[in-house]
């Protein structure tokens, strides 16, 4: 069967290719259950014909959506996935028998995994921007990444020779409502004192790579980023010749808001939490635990305002609501891949324009796969190692700063992006 939806051709073979690529490129080495299941689907022409004929081409044909929908409905092998041909046959039979229900979930829901542990990779930039901050997340999902000051963090250095990071850590203690940074030779901890959520992040690369985001006022203005600063915090988030870019205290956040096509509230809506849990892959028990802990951590906090709508349509009006005395931070993580390149370019132009016209300071933080914003990442990624291909690129004002794990588990500073004296 071949279906033309909005000039996008969808065929059973195209669906099979998509599932084969997902099994090999995404699930392999991460979830044995999803790797096997999607590989078997890719070799099942009749089932691929069902998918291509009854689901719109594009995002609704994502393997993640189908897999999560079956798990959400308590389909067979919801936790472990099929193992062997007979098990796949049972999964297939159940899914076809319940296809109307499965399709309804796919059409109603989106692949909007909200991974709060990514805050561990965002925090070093947020903490060094001019305070206080106004956070605006594009693709906010449940808004868990809008609450970085509600979690604890444990940064583990890799390849360090030992010794303290330097002076200044003791100054962070005693901040009301948080625990200041504490450290051993290879570990730094900080965050909300009583938070049930603690995120561990491996750190590598020369700390001097923090200088990657040092820019002159002229170059920053060319990118549309604000240049004003609070007296105590320079507008350059990495001042000095060779700073250590890890934070010593939590950022001061005075305003937070987000945009999403389908906002979720896992605190107030158990069904939203159930969907987020269904999106966690089998074999990733740590992610499921982090999700539950994050929901508990933000439960006492006021809910961030999350506007339902398209990111390009809603961004200007929402950004205008940010307090003028705060640094506006427009940020997103693994969101823009769902847009065609032309829309990504339009989004970039819009963010530059908004920040350039803003009276107060503003910055843009992106955390996307390096193929998503190629004009940002190409110069710094010419020598990516094969094992780095799945990593995200953390960039400040369109300048790469670090490679990060997709779930916030690692942070490697890009010293090749640092300016040369």
Q: What is the pLDDT of residues 71-102, one digit of tens each?
A: 999 988 655 666 788 889 999 999 999 999 99
From CA 200, how far away is CA 191, in angstroms rounded?
A: 12
DSSP 6-35: TTEEEEHHHHHHHHHHIIIIIITTT-HHHH
- Return the H-helix or E-strand segment holding 332: strand 327-333
Query: Helix or strand or coil: residue 403?
Result: strand
Average pLDDT of the residues in 310-338: 95
Average pLDDT of the residues in 188-214: 75
pLDDT at position 42: 96
The pLDDT tens digits of the residues spanning 124-166 come to 999 999 999 999 999 999 999 999 999 999 999 986 544 434 3
Q: DSSP character for 22? A: I
pLDDT at position 10: 62
Residue 5 has pLDDT above 60, yes or no: no
* Cα atoms in the 13 Å half-sphere on the side-chain side of 9: 5
Residue 404 has pLDDT above 70, yes or no: yes
CA distances from 4 to 62, 113, 342 (A): 17, 28, 21
Residue 227 has pLDDT above 70, yes or no: no
pLDDT band at 399 (very low <50, low <70, confident <90, very high): very high
Q: Supply 283's token pair.
A: 């074999």
- Smallest CA-to-CA distance from 223 within 386, 374, 61, 348 is with 348
pLDDT band at 59 (very low <50, low <70, confident <90, very high): confident
Backbone angles phi, psi at 131, to 5 degrees: -95, 155
What's the predicted TM-score (pTM) here? 0.80
Residue 269 has pLDDT above 70, yes or no: yes
* 282 compared with 174, residue with greater pLDDT: 282
Q: DSSP character for 367? A: E
Strand 410-413 relative to strand 152-157: parallel, antiparallel, unpaired?
A: unpaired
- Smallest CA-to-CA distance from 393 within 411, 418, 375, 370 is with 370
Residue 403 has pLDDT above 60, yes or no: yes
- Smallest CA-to-CA distance from 200 within 211, 210, 191, 209 is with 191
> By the 8 A CB rule, do 152 and 117 touch?
no
pLDDT at position 421: 32
pLDDT band at 288 (very low <50, low <70, confident <90, very high): confident
């Amino acid at each position: 069967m071949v279906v033309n939806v909005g000039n996008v051709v969808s065929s059973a073979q195209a669906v099979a290719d998509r599932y084969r690529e997902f099994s090999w490129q995404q699930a392999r080495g991460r979830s044995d259950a999803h790797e096997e299941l999607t590989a078997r689907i890719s070799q099942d022409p009749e089932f691929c014909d069902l998918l291509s004929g009854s689901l719109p081409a594009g995002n609704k044909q994502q393997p993640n959506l189908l897999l999560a929908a079956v798990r959400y409905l308590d389909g067979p092998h919801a936790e472990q996935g099929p193992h062997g041909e007979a098990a796949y046959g049972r999964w297939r039979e159940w899914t076809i028998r319940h296809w109307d229900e499965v399709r309804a979930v796919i059409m109603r829901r989106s692949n909007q995994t909200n991974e709060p542990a990514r805050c561990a990779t965002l925090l070093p930039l947020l903490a060094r921007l001019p305070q206080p901050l106004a956070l605006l997340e594009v693709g906010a999902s449940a808004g868990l990444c809008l609450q970085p000051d509600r979690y604890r963090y444990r940064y583990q250095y890799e390849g360090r020779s030992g010794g303290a990071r330097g002076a200044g850590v003791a100054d962070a203690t005693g901040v009301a409502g948080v625990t200041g940074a504490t450290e051993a030779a290879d570990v730094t901890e900080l965050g909300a004192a009583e938070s049930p959520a603690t995120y561990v992040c491996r750190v590598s690369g020369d700390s001097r790579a923090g200088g990657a985001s040092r820019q002159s006022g002229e170059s920053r203005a060319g990118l549309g980023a604000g240049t004003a600063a609070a007296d105590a915090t320079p507008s350059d988030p990495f001042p000095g010749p060779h700073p250590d870019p890890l934070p010593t205290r939590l950022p001061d956040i005075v305003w937070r808001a987000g945009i999403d096509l389908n906002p979720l509230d896992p605190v107030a809506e158990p069904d939203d939490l159930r969907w987020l849990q269904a999106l966690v892959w089998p074999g990733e028990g740590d992610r499921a635990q982090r999700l539950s802990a994050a929901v508990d951590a933000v439960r006492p906090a006021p809910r961030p305002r999350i506007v339902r709508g398209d990111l390009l349509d809603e961004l200007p009006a929402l950004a205008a609501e940010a307090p003028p005395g705060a640094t506006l931070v427009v940020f997103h993580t693994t969101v823009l891949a769902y847009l065609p390149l032309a829309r990504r370019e339009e989004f970039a132009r819009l963010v530059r324009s908004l920040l350039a016209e803003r009276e107060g300071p503003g910055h843009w933080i992106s955390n996307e796969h390096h193929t998503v914003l190629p004009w940002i990442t190409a110069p710094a990624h010419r020598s990516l190692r094969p094992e780095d291909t799945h990593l995200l690129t953390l960039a400040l004002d369109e300048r790469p700063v670090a490679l990060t794990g997709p779930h916030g588990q690692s942070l490697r500073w890009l010293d090749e992006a640092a300016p040369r004296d």
